[in-house]
Amino acid sequence: MSINSILKSTVAALAIVTGGSLFAQGTPIDAAAFDALVAQGPVASAATIASSTWASKIKQAGTLRLGGTQTSNLFSLLNEKDGKARGFDAGLAQLLTRYILGDGAKYQFTQVTSSTREQVLINDQVDMVFATYSITPARAEKIAFAGPYYTSQAGVLVKANNRAIQSYNDLAGKKVATQAGSTGPAILAQYAPKAVVQEFQTHQEALDALRQGRVDAYVTDYTLLLNALSLGTGDAKLAGAPFGAQDPYGVGLPKGSDGVAFINDFLKKVEADGTWAKLWMISIGQRTGSTAVPTPPAIP
């Protein structure tokens, strides 16, 4: 089953269960299971690392400079009490760190937003970016992508009591939030050109704008919206089914880096040995009430 159909059935199930408004209680991540999963991830042999200049440089430096988010509930949320970030993106990043350096904690973290993601790679401020980063041709001109490691489509999030917006067709003339520098503005230009678009720097700010009534709807990656619903901080629902082209998430790397091949091999490995599926279950599945694990996307 594709990721999309899984998510669609999850959403449908939740809708039925909670009677129209999707107000799920925020389930915190199972920290112990997460940490255990990362701790038993694969470690690359010296030969594998030597075959990639990108990985060798990291091995020599002793730490991996990671660009990511700390404020995304399902994908990477920093727990300030123990200083650890956990989530789907965080898990894959830490598994990759362990793969190269033997220890999933040896990374140096930089918080990026959707408008700083490319620049930090161009500026060599980080080695890679793991931040629900959609692969687009425009971005591929400036940086390189490994993966994809996940796919999603666009979705529309509205307040539960909003009867006016049933799908992306009803967005004309409405105030719609999206993330600056993400695929949101392009998708809105294509599917809802008459919407009044407001761009925000982070997912959290856009969600707050919806909650506070500054905007009528929020259009972004469908999985991020499920993210929002899993928080349970206000009545919100998805308007209509996911739409638009399949949105592949990739790992951002500097242009022309040979880390692309290295990471692709790593991804194939963790997908084959079931780690990817387990991580999905711990960070997304268990917290959005879905039990069926999707198949990971094919890596070219």
Tell me which residues touch other proteins (CB under 8 A): 67, 70-73, 77-81, 110-113, 115-116, 118-120, 122-125, 180-181, 198-202, 204-205, 208, 212-214, 231, 233
Closest to other proteins by CB, 79 or 295: 79
Instruction: Output the six-digit token pair for 231.
Output: 């928080």
Please, are residues 127 and 231 in contact by the beta-carbon 8 Å criterion? no
Minimum Å distance from CB 78 to other proteins? 5
Closest to other proteins by CB, 86 or 237: 86
Nearest CA among 170, 117, 109, 107 for reference residue 139: 117
**Residues, the chain, total?**
300
Minimum Å distance from CB 296 to other proteins? 27
Alpha carbons 88 and 94: distance in angstroms, whole number: 10
Minimum Å distance from CB 150 to other proteins? 20
Minimum Å distance from CB 209 to other proteins? 8
> CA dihedral defined by 122, 128, 130, 135, rounded to 10 degrees?
60
Minimum Å distance from CB 181 to other proteins? 8
Closest to other proteins by CB, 4 or 125: 125
Alpha carbons within 13 angstroms on the beta-carbon side of residue 228 total 30
Closest to other proteins by CB, 105 or 231: 231
Closest to other proteins by CB, 264 or 283: 283
Coil, helix or strand for 245? strand
Nearest CA among 91, 88, 62 for reference residue 73: 88
